[in-house]
Structure 1
Amino acid sequence: MKKSSILGLVVIAIAIGVVISLYGSASTYGSFADARETSSELHVVGKLNLQKELHYEPVKDANYFSFYIIDEKGEECKVEFSGAKPQDFERSEQVVMVGKMEGNKFHASHITLKCPSKYTNDKVEFTEFKAKQANI
């Protein structure tokens, strides 16, 4: 084989490897049941259960916030977030969380809130929040 043919095959193999690695790390949407079945991070969409307690005590630990979400399939789960409670959290229409299940709790690393607009009825605001990273 010519050197250019070998080089071409190597470049193609590297490109295929990059595409596969990017596809494998892409997060997908699912429910709490799906999160229990996978060890990778998953997007879960749901609504805040205002009938249950929102636990946030900034004096004790400003980087711990827990709440209950009902996902799109109707399953309720406790969610823990390593960060401050987002402003106007109770007003959100929908919560999108990125994280994974640990035991019977969902640990969110990222939260996006879908809130009703303050000014018009046909526009929606999105606010994103990321969890604090632990110092190792």
Structure 2
Amino acid sequence: MKKSSIIVLVLIAVTIGVIVSSFGSFSTYETFASAAEKPGNTFVVMGTLDKGQAMEYDPKVDANKFVFYAKDQKGKPLRVIFNGTKPQDFERSEQLVMTGFVKDNEFHCEKIQMKCPSKYENDQVVVASKPA
């Protein structure tokens, strides 16, 4: 075999390896239970606001602490602590996409994306992140 043929085969193998490894890093939505099984890791959990539970937000005491309860895709509720301000129209959100980790049976949220209903747009998305 020629050296050029070997080099081409090696480059093809490396390219295939890079493509396969990149597919493994795509994030999927987890549940609170699966996130709790792997402490210390950050996960993306999709769920809804549990409107039967009270929300805690007092900007006079701590403007960067918002606590609420959310239900994951399987319906399991969990207390969520978001270290940021309460997003506008949070109660109107249809879905929440929360990025964070589970610690002490609480979900510590670093980022919230809300899918809000709108009579003018079908896919209005609002993003809230903790301040830098």
Query: Normalising to structure 2: TM-score of the pair?
Result: 0.79
Q: Give the aligned partner of residue 70 of structure 1.
A: 71
Q: C-alpha separation between the residues in 2 aligned to 1:115 and 1:33?
A: 25
CA contact (8 A) 1:111 1:128 kept: yes
What letter is aligned with 1:85?
Answer: K
**Pairwise mapping of residues 95-134 of structure 1 onto structure 2 (< 5 A)?**
95-117=96-118, 119-120=119-120, 123-133=122-132
CA distances 1:11-51 after superposition (whole Å, capped 9, x unpaired): 99x98997798667654311000110123111111111111
Quote the residue 2:58 is aligned against: 57
Distance 1:50 1:68 in 2: 8
User: Kindly tell me: are residues 42 and 80 of structure 1, through their superposed partners in 2, closer, same or farther at Cα, counting changes over 3 Å?
Assistant: same
Partner amino acid for 2:129?
K
- Name the residue aligned to 2:5: none
Residues 125 and 26 of structure 1, relative CA distance in 2, 3 Å threshold: same
Alpha-carbon spacing, 1:101–1:19, altered in 2? closer, same or farther (3 Å):
farther
Counterparts of 1:46 and 1:32, CA distance in 2: 9
Partner of 1:32: 32
- Relative to the length of structure 1, the TM-score reads 0.77
Report the Cα distance in structure 2 between the residues aligned to 1:109 and 1:22, rounded to whole angstroms: 24
Structure 2 alignment gaps of length 5 or more: 1-7
CA RMSD of aligned residues (A): 2.4
Kindly tell me the number of residue pairs found equivalent between the two proteins: 131
Q: Which residue number corresponds to residue 3 of structure 1? A: none
**Cα distance between partner residues in 2 of 1:22 and 1:31:** 23
Whichever residue aligns with residue 129 of structure 1, its letter is: A
- Code of the aligned partner of 2:130: A
Unaligned ranges ≥5, structure 1 = 1-7
Q: Does the aligned pair in 2 maintain the 1:27–1:41 contact within 8 Å?
A: no
Deviations 1:66-125 (A, max 9, x none): 0000111111000000000000000000111000001100001000000001x33x7131
C-alpha distance in structure 2 between counterparts of 1:22 and 1:124, whole Å:
28
